A and B are shown apart, each in its own frame.
Chain A
Amino acid sequence: MCLAVPGKVVSLNDNGTGWVDYLGSQVLVNFSLLPGIKIGDWVIVHAGFAISRLDQKEARRTLKLFQELEKQS
């Protein structure tokens, strides 16, 4: 039940909702639990609500760590 998937914000409505794209399919999401969302942000969505922002810089840092691990082998 805590499954939550990352998607990219593609549009914002003025009632605190907006559309989030998951690999091509778009879903209406409530942003009330996550103020300050901008188009282009990546968010984690659970039960119709965005619960967290996905920090791209952090994501790239972890990805780099993995790439370094791969190089070591």
Chain B
Amino acid sequence: MPPSSANRSPFSDWRTRKTTNRLLQAIEAETRHLSASLKLMEVCGTHTMTLHRSGLKPLLREAGIEMISGPGCPVCITPDYYHEAMIDLLSSRDNILACTFGDMTRVPTRKGSLQTIVPKQGSQIKIVYSPEEAMEEARNHPEKEVIFFGAGFETTIPAITFTIKKACQERLKNYSLMAAFWLIPPALKAIVESRELAINGFIYPGHVSAIIGEKPYAFIAEEYHLPGAIAGFEPADVLLGVLSVVKQIRSGQPRVANEYQRVVQPEGNVQALALMDKYLTKEAAIWRGLGVIPDSGLRLKPEYSDFDATKRFSLQLQPHRVKKTACRCGEVLKGLVGPAGCPLFGRNCRPDSPQGPCMVSYEGACLIEYKFSGAKHHG
């Protein structure tokens, strides 16, 4: 079916130069009164992409705003030992069918990547687009142990958790989950508390917020007096978020603004939250770069441990002493250095030979910067 104008997204008009220019002027009119430039963190990798693709980053800099990418890329913050546990399992056992999202297969570890290793005969890795495809594999291959290796934030967690609900209902005996589930608000708290970076405000991730709503960010305004705005993903959406944060700074009244009301309900997606609540429980988790953060991870509750791959296969998810490499992903994820601050960027580390996850994921700050900054001509 050809594209029909009736089905055209009603938002394609939001990219016009005129709109973004007017918003930039409005932002500039606010920052003009401030003595120093502002540092705002865009938490989500998809926002980083919007900012680069639309060329807004340098324009915002001219308007007195430095945008810093945050930890919002699940592939990037998942530590290597998750991949290594999966690699060990695939190379030592028969009949394992491990399913995962595409980017996850390319993350380089000291044991190789899921894409480069040779699984034991009868075992394999498969790229899927939806966790439901993994479940379908389990239904079709009762002789295989199907594992979904899923990394995600609140946006993705409900979809993956739904497959556990289904697997329970269908009494699927050969389906399990290796969850690398990460929660955004505790990570923001860790960033603010570490004080390594003086951030003046946040652009909150739009689709994480579609699930969790506005309230989980309230402590950032109330306890830390930092402003923030939930924003959508069109260039004008991001600018609207920035404008709101700048206005909050000038008025001295930080809050959680919702500039993506067409998608984000104040209470989030109640159905999805209830599903998470029923099957998952919070735990301290280790983020690449950020370290241990209390209550920032989710795993299956003990009553569903039959579906927990780490239990079923006694996987050891222990941090190991990592060989020091020059990769600075950890600092990139904290916003302490930009990708260009890494000595490998554009030289040894390129999309065709990534040295760290931030160059693998399409939401990774290094890959985004490489794609849009002309770093191809670099090094």
A11 at the B interface (CB under 8 A): no
Residues of B within 8 A of A33 (CB): 158-159, 162, 269, 271-272, 275
Residue in chain B with minimal CB distance to A55? B262
B159 engages A48 (CB within 8 Å): yes
Tell me the residues in window 35-61 of chain B with beta carbons closer than 8 Å to chain A beta carbons: 44-46
> Are B23 and A69 in contact (CB-based, < 8 A)?
yes
B28 on the A face (CB < 8 A): no
Contact call A1/B73, Cβ cutoff below 8 A: yes
> Which residues on the B side are within 8 Å of A63 (C-beta)?
10-11, 13-14
Which residue from chain B places its CB closest to the CB of A23 in the assembled complex? B3
Could you tell me the distance between the alpha carbons of A62 and B264 in the complex, rounded to whole angstroms? Answer: 13
Interchain CB contact (< 8 A) of A47 among B131, B265, B361, B362 = B131
Select from chain B the residue with minimum beta-carbon distance to A70: B18
Contact check, B1 vs A2: say whether CB atoms are below 8 A apart: no
A66 and B269 contacting across the interface, CB-CB below 8 Å: no
Decide if B130 touches A34 in the complex (CB within 8 Å). no
- Minimum CB–CB distance for A47 against chain B, Å: 5
Whether A24 and B156, one on each chain, are in contact in the complex, defined by CB atoms closer than 8 angstroms, is no
Is A69 in contact with B46, judged by CB distance below 8 angstroms? no
1/0 per residue B61-78: CB within 8 Å of A? 000000000001111000
B305 interface residue, CB < 8 Å from A? no
Say which residue of B14, B16, B207, B363 sits within 8 Å of A51 (CB atoms): B207
Nearest residue (CB) in A for B161 is: A33
* A3 contact set on B, CB distance < 8 A: 46, 207, 362-363
The segment out of B138-146, B147-155, B306-314, B317-325 that lies at the interface is B147-155
Within 8 Å CB of A25, what residues of B?
1
Within 8 A of A (CB), among B321-367: 361-363
Chain B residues, Cβ within 8 Å of A12: none
Contact between B132 and A46, CB atoms less than 8 A apart: no
Contact of A73 among B18, B162, B205, B261 (CB under 8 A): B18
Interface residue from B205, B262, B361 paired with A54 (Cβ < 8 Å) = B262
Interface size grouping (class) on chain B: 35 or more
Pair B363/A55 contact, Cβ less than 8 Å: no
Give chain A residues whose Cβ lies under 8 Å from the Cβ of B194.
none
Contacts A33-B272, A54-B262 given; does A24 touch B22 at CB 8 Å: no
Cβ B9 vs Cβ A6 within 8 A = yes
Taking A58-B261, A58-B262 as contacts, is the C-beta distance between A51 and B158 under 8 angstroms? Answer: yes
B33 within 8 A of A: no
In the complex, are the beta carbons of B7 and A51 less than 8 A apart? no
Taking CB atoms, residues of chain A closer than 8 Å to B14 are 63, 66
Q: Please tell me if B178 contacts chain A, counting CB pairs below 8 Å.
A: no
Question: What 0/1 readout, one digit per residue, does chain B (246-269) give for beta carbons within 8 Å of chain A?
Answer: 000000000000000111110001
* Additional pairs, 6, CB under 8 Å, beyond known A1-B45, A70-B16: A24-B7, A33-B269, A47-B130, A48-B129, A48-B159, A55-B262
Interface residues of B (CB under 8 A from A): 1-4, 7-11, 13-14, 16, 18-19, 21-23, 25-26, 44-46, 72-75, 101, 103, 129-133, 151-153, 155-156, 158-160, 162, 205-208, 210-211, 236, 240, 261-265, 269, 271-272, 275, 361-363
